[in-house]
Amino acid sequence: MARPGSGVLVSMGGGLGYHPQSMARVVVWEWLNEHGRWRPYSAAVCHHIENVLKGDPRGTAILGQVDAQLAPYVIDLQSMHQFRQDTGTMRPVQRNFYEPSSAPGKGVVWEWENDNGSWTPYDMEICVTIQNAYEKQHPWLDLSSLGFSYLVDFNSMAQTNRQSQRRRRIRRRMDLAYPLIMGSIPKSQSWPVGASSGTPCTCQQCLLVHSTRAASNAILASQRRKLYGAGAGGGQAGTDGALTIVRQSNTFAGTSLWSPATTAAGGNGNSAAVGGAGGQGKADQMQVPIAGANFSCGPALANALTINGQNNLNRPGTQRITMATSRGTIPPGVPALPVKNLTGSGPVHPALAGMTGILMCAAGLPVCLTRAPKPILHPPPVNKSDMKPVPGVNGICRKTKKKHLRRGKNPEDVVRRYTDKIKTAPDEDCTICMERLATASGYEGVLSHKGIKPELVGKLGKCGHMYHLLCLVAMYNNGNKDGSLQCPTCKTIYGEKTGTQPPGKMEYHVIPHCLPGYPEVKTIRIVYDIPAGIQTNEHPNPGKKYTARGFPRHCYLPDNEKGRKVLKLLIMAWDRRLIFTIGTSSTTGESDTVVWNEIHHKTEFGSNLTGHGYPDPNYLDNVLAELASQGVGEDNLKD
């Protein structure tokens, strides 16, 4: 049935907040993924974490106790990090708050259908926004202002990508409601808890807070005098006056950097409201991203910022300064100076950039405070006619199929090919079985191979390391059995190493755009595309399906001599099935999925916010070393 009314374009201050003095709040625990998005844990997991928190605020929450799929994960409540025990991966976590009437308070979960046919929940702030529009019976919802180029259609229960026009099904389901807490907002739970609540830590953000606190107080006092006159406390501004609302949504161990200044504008003055829906004035909104820190000196902020139904008291990077000034207050001819490097992504130190903005504001100079930059993952659109072959590289596409897997000869022949027999074994251990070389192999009785006795010892030809021949046979049998051998001590490769990469396609061409750090040359774009499929005997779980997330994957190299050399070696690694493998994702924890195989690629085109982009002057040399460690060295290239 069609839904009445008109659609809605999401506003960053969507009016979904609740009164900051409300006593009841819904708690949602979230973890930070590799794209900088806070992903919510399930309601059951959040209840478990809250129960552990009540017992010991500095304890450890073992997530596998409530969700078997999260068995490798634990949360250290003192450092506020999630730790994956089998890989050692650590990720920040945070404790966020929402109003009881929002989606998490009602147990409503909105999900989209992924490529594997399973359902993935939206980020919580998006879920809250979708639920709000759904309850108001809007027929559609535009998520572009939240950073997502999607249009949600409630009539067809589908989301459409505005760029690719791809449609996915969405669904709304009921689940366990998230935990509800009563009383005042606790101290910030977003960052590590200091050893002493009365002593600030010495991190950069705390130093920034200390150094700017007096300046910020002076700024506020000066602004109030300009707005209302000495001693004025009213909420009315003059007709042509300037209105400034300074609020801070994040707390530093329960305290705020700025005190709230709540005012209203009258007359023709431009106004800006935090959390307001619609906005009657054409105010310019500017955001300052400053990471959270532990800070303990003063009462907690009473009127905290709420955005999209969530209280952002402890949400890192959501401090906002909303300023609205009439054009008459900006001196003519004075340019607005941008302060963009508050996240440390530029040459200016974050503390210096923040201090510069505050002092310029105090001096009456206009300051353009920008929001945290987003990664530039892709170049501008490129026509097919502008895509050119890479000079010196044959073709534009490579495909791998199952038949490309080459089998070597029997294990004994492979071991004999790369080793020399030793008549008198030295008095040292075999690093495979950990038995003395002078004694029989630890695999005696376990393996029986014709012609190889347990006491025989061999020396590898290139590196000279010595092992029991039977141990080398056992190691070969546990590998890919591709006719190659790799020394377990120094990793020297004998023969041509191949991998277990599933079937797929690799394309490469030159596009007429430049990478940061390479302004004089064009860019080589590599596109990997691997579909989902069924694992074979060479994979961890034969016969089981594997997923392929994030494909096609776009990677970038500079179109210069070294960049082309790297491309040629990557093509060789692709042919040897070494670029990808099937395993467990270190970022999402998903098993039986296609993952990178220790050869790093640059997937960020126009920035380097994630560490996977440019400029990076050492990348080409590093990837050459990684390729060489896989047996794909420059000596393999034909002149």
In SS3 terms, 323-371 reads as: EECCHHHCCCCCCCEEECCCCCCCCCCHHHHHHHHHHHHHCCCCEEECC
Question: pLDDT tier at 575 (50, 70, 90 boundaries)?
Answer: very high
Extract the tokens encoding 511. 């596009």
SS (H, E, C) 129-197: HHHHHHHCCCCEEECHHHCCCEEEECCCCEEEECCCCCEEEEEEEECCCCCEEECCCCCCCCCCCCCCC
> In 526-537, which positions are buried (b, 16+ CB within 10 angstroms) versus exposed (e)?
bebebebbebee
**Residues 427 and 458 both lie in one domain:** yes
Q: What percent of the chain has pLDDT above 70? A: 64
Q: For 105-123, how does the pLDDT look when each residue is reduced to its tens digit (9 = 90+)?
A: 999 999 999 887 889 999 9
Domain boundary among 130, 148, 182: 182
| 531 vs 475: which has the higher pLDDT | 531
pLDDT at 566 over 80: yes
The Cα-based distances of 448 to 467, 486, 620 in angstroms read: 17, 22, 46
Domain boundary among 494, 517, 550: 494
Q: For 368-407, how does the pLDDT look when each residue is reduced to its tens digit (9 = 90+)?
A: 555 556 788 889 988 989 999 999 998 888 887 654 445 5
- 394 within a domain of the structure (yes/no): no
**Residues 42 and 147 both lie in one domain:** yes
Determine the average pLDDT of the residues in 620-638: 88
**Residues 435 and 416 both lie in one domain:** yes
**Residues 47 and 65 both lie in one domain:** yes
**Residues 472 and 571 both lie in one domain:** no
Least confident of 14-18, 104-108, 320-324, 610-614: 320-324
**Residues 108 and 157 both lie in one domain:** yes
Single pTM value for the model = 0.46
> What's the mean per-residue pLDDT of the chain?
73
What is the structure's pLDDT at 355?
60
- 299 within a domain of the structure (yes/no): no
Place of tokens 């027929």: 139
* Residue 413 CB partners (closer than 8 Å, separation 6+): none
Number of domains in the chain: 3
| 170 vs 338: which has the higher pLDDT | 170
Highest mean pLDDT among 94-103, 175-184, 473-482: 94-103
Is 592 in a helix, a strand, or coil? coil
pLDDT at 271 over 60: no
What is the structure's pLDDT at 229?
55
Determine the average pLDDT of the residues in 416-429: 88
Question: pLDDT tier at 224 (50, 70, 90 boundaries)?
Answer: low
What is the structure's pLDDT at 427?
86
Q: From CA 456, how far away is CA 440, in angstroms rounded?
A: 8
- 401 within a domain of the structure (yes/no): no
Highest mean pLDDT among 42-46, 210-214, 296-300, 392-396: 42-46
Q: For 425-473, how does the pLDDT look when each residue is reduced to its tens digit (9 = 90+)?
A: 888 889 888 888 989 888 887 776 667 888 889 999 889 999 998 889 8
Q: From CA 612, how far away is CA 620, in angstroms rounded?
A: 12
- 280 within a domain of the structure (yes/no): no
Q: For 317-360, how does the pLDDT look when each residue is reduced to its tens digit (9 = 90+)?
A: 333 333 333 333 444 444 444 444 444 445 555 556 656 665 66
Extract the tokens encoding 600. 């790093």
Q: From CA 525, how far away is CA 518, in angstroms rounded?
A: 14
Residue 91: which domain range? Answer: 24-182
Spatial contact of 226 and 266, defined as CB atoms under 8 Å apart = no
Domain boundary among 433, 460, 494: 494
Residue of 289, 352, 298 whose CA lies nearest to 321: 289
**Residues 103 and 122 both lie in one domain:** yes
What CATH number did the domain enclosing 427 receive? Answer: 3.30.40.10
| 332 vs 424: which has the higher pLDDT | 424
Determine the average pLDDT of the residues in 570-587: 91
pLDDT at 416 over 60: yes
- 450 within a domain of the structure (yes/no): yes
Q: For 536-559, how does the pLDDT look when each residue is reduced to its tens digit (9 = 90+)?
A: 988 889 999 999 998 999 999 999
Determine the average pLDDT of the residues in 137-149: 84
pLDDT at 306 over 90: no
Question: pLDDT tier at 104 (50, 70, 90 boundaries)?
Answer: very high
